[in-house]
Amino acid sequence: MTTTLDRPAPIKPNAIPKVGIVSLGCPKALVDSERIVTRLRAEGYQISPDYSGADLVLVNTCGFLDSAREESLDAIGEAIEANGKVIVTGCLGAEPEVIEKAHPKVLAVTGPHQYEQVMDAVHENLTPPHNPHTDLVPESGLRLTPRHYAYLKISEGCNNRCSFCIIPKLRGDLASRPIHHVLIEAEQLVRAGVKELLVISQDTSAYGLDLKYAPQTWKGEEYETRFLDLARGLSSLGVWTRMHYVYPYPHVDKFIPLMAEGAITPYLDIPFQHASANVLKAMKRPAKQDRVLERIQQWRRDVPDLAIRSTFIVGFPGETEEDFQILLDFIREAKIDRAGCFKYENVAHADSRDLPGHIPEEVKEERWHRFMETQAEISAARAAAQIGTTQDVIVDGPSDEPGEFLARSKADAPEIDGVVYLKSDTALQPGDIVSANITDADAYDLYGNAV
């Protein structure tokens, strides 16, 4: 959970209207929160760091898993109790009846990426300040991430219909942003000091399909609104660029040379979810998985330092022990560098609820542990292979130890992957990219010295 409401502060009478934000859920929701914060600041509202100093509180909810829905409802309750004036937005906002039943006192409920409606609800409940130009917003907008990295959202929604997922029901079909808008935003972020761009969407490889890959002009050059041209444009900005949620559609092969040239960070986040054809079929996953292993091996030959992150679900309805073994063999053979693993959860309104062969909880639990043990071995082998190498790392900030900093290698995305514990004689700043000698490793993290 990301929140701006950490420290208590007194209420100032007659002050500029202040809005508190509680942002729950994934990086995509965080980007929505950033956009709302940017709009609020552009109109002259201030952002309050605590409930008591806020004139009203916006709660950006997540509605993906039942546990996230519970967390969202709890956060709304906490905000009502602490402040009283609460507007709800985000994924769970697509089901206003659930929110209004649990919390009849909420002032308004809007759905995901309904920025206009959120602003309308704020205006209705908190009059904007007289002079909207007293607070100037930087052209890069306002962000909730540290200054040196930023999420770049390229589209909303999804055209796929994976049986376990309700995102298309919550967020609708794929709606891509025109490529010049994305590239202009990326350029502004880089100008504002961002050193690492994290490209996010629900299905990054499908980018532009809904816009029929419409061509646009950026810096005098033509770019089609499609994944490859996006990568080409971003690679010209000279910062680390990580691609998240890339499905292994055939055209992804054409993107690999950009990583081989060093133009794009050699990191691919591909949510495979499973490897058994039976389970993938029941999941209704996009992108053919045929030859995926072969293709990954070719990618690794072309880009030897490629890091692949993925997420998997174990205990999906109908998953047999044989299917599960296929999954373990896949992560071993593909040498998946980083993996998140979830036990299948019966999400409300998901089609997979109706599938036959639901797996007992204790079997899910047992498979999850076996998966994590296998993955820890793969990650540890990868980490051990880094000892003795020299590589660029990006600094996130000081660690708790004097003379030590927290950094990340190109194989580590912020918040989800490992870190590099970096000793340095000189003070380093967040966003510094320095060369590091890697001297030690454990299962997920590396240790090294700045050179």
Which stretches of the chain bind ligand SF4, using CB under 6 A? 158, 160-162, 165, 167-168, 202-203, 286
Q: State the amino acid at position 196 in one-letter form.
A: E
Strand 404-409 versus strand 420-423 pairing type: antiparallel
Residue 204 near residue 246 (C-beta atoms within 8 A) = yes
Other Cβ atoms closer than 10 A to 426: 8
Task: Using the minimum distance from each CB to ligand SF4, give the nearer residue, 77 or 172.
Answer: 172
- First-to-last CA distance in the chain? 36
Residue closer to ligand SF4, measured from CB, 64 or 240 = 64
Q: Which residue, 173 or 261, is less far from ligand SF4 as judged by CB?
A: 173
- By the 8 A CB rule, do 266 and 303 touch? yes
Nearest residue (CB) to ligand SF4, 99 versus 162: 162
Per the structure block, which two tokens stand in for 7? 């420290």
d(CA 35, CA 288): 35
- Nearest CB to ligand SF4, comparing residues 91 and 186: 91
Minimal distance in Å, beta carbon 273 to ligand SF4? 7
For residue 39, give the amino acid letter.
Answer: R
User: From the CB of 352, what's the least distance to ligand SF4, in Å?
Assistant: 11
Least gap, CB of 321 to ligand SF4 (angstroms): 25
Rounded to a whole number of angstroms, the minimum distance from the CB of residue 351 to ligand SF4 is 10
Length of the chain: 451
- Comparing CB distances to ligand SF4, the nearer of 246 and 407 is 246
Ordered DSSP codes for 12-47: PTTPPPEEEEEE-SSHHHHHHHHHHHHHHHHTTPEE
- Judged by beta carbon, residue 83 or residue 201, the one nearer ligand SF4 is 201
How distant, in Å, are the alpha carbons of 83, 207, 264, 265, 394 from that of 242?
39, 15, 7, 6, 13
To ligand SF4, the closest distance from the beta carbon of 281 in angstroms equals 14
CB of 361 to ligand SF4, least distance (A): 22
What percent of the chain is helix, strand and coil (3-state, nearest 5)?
35, 20, 40
Least distance (Å) between residue 18 CB and ligand SF4: 35
Structural contact between residues 35 and 53, judged by C-beta atoms closer than 8 angstroms: no
Instruction: State the nearest-atom distance from the C-beta of 26 to ligand SF4, in Å.
Output: 10
Q: Residue 168 or residue 178: which is nearer to ligand SF4 going by CB?
A: 168
Residue number with CB closer to ligand SF4 (284 or 295): 284
Give the separation between CA 291 and CA 276, rounded to whole angstroms: 13
**Tokens 């950006």 belong to which residue?**
60
Question: In angstroms, what is the minimal distance from the CB of 202 to ligand SF4?
Answer: 4
| Helices and strands (DSSP H and E) totals, the chain | 12, 21
In terms of CB distance, is 203 or 396 closer to ligand SF4?
A: 203
β-pairing, 18-23 with 46-48?
parallel
At closest approach, how far in Å is the CB of 350 from ligand SF4?
10
Q: Return the bridge partners of 417, or none.
A: none
Task: For residue 69, give the nearest of 52, 42, 83, 90 by alpha carbon.
Answer: 90
How far, in Å, CA of 119 to CA of 40, rounded?
A: 8
